[in-house]
Structure 1
Amino acid sequence: MKCLLCKTGTMKESTATYFTQLENCYIIIEKVPCWKCEQCGETLYAASVMERIDDILEGLKKVASKIFIMDYTSAA
């Protein structure tokens, strides 16, 4: 599959670190399955992965402090 951003690179299965900010907290989720462009590094997540990340974030809103780092494979 060709990259949607650079249009020349090839998307390969990989893992990435997902970073987001909630109200008063930074969340880092490591080893998230994705498609990554070999040329420009653009990252795409499957809909099922994004749904799981949303579920993880909903749970973390109740318990997270300032910074929370977790491994996707242990939460999936």
Structure 2
Amino acid sequence: MKCLSCKSDTVVDGTTTFFASLPNCYVIIENVPCKKCSQCGEEYFSSSVMEKIEDILDKVEHIASKIFILDYHTAA
């Protein structure tokens, strides 16, 4: 895979922290699998990972009060 930002061929598997701002809270999801450009740091998520993130955000939105931090592998 080529990086869409810098056009480098050095995109590798990695993990990242995903931040979301919902109407009633902030959500931080740690250890989210991604593809990461080793040159510029741009991160890419697969469609299956994005679907799981959306599911997590839908559930959290109804139970969180202000800030919610969770691990991707525990919640997915």
Q: TM-score range by the shorter chain?
A: over 0.9
Identity rate of aligned residues, in percent? 58
Matched residue, 1:46: 46
Unaligned 5+ residue runs, structure 1?
A: none
Listed one character per residue, the Cα deviations across residues 21-69 of structure 1 (whole Å, up to 9, x for unaligned) are 0002110000000000000000000000000000000000110111000
Name the residue aligned to 1:37. 37
2:41 is equivalent to residue 62 of structure 1:
no
Structure 2 gaps of 5+ residues are: none
Moved more, 6-15 or 42-51: 6-15
Matched positions, count:
76
Q: TM-score, normalised by structure 2?
A: 0.95
Separation of aligned partners in 2, 1:19 and 1:3: 21
TM-score for both structures, normalised by structure 1: 0.95
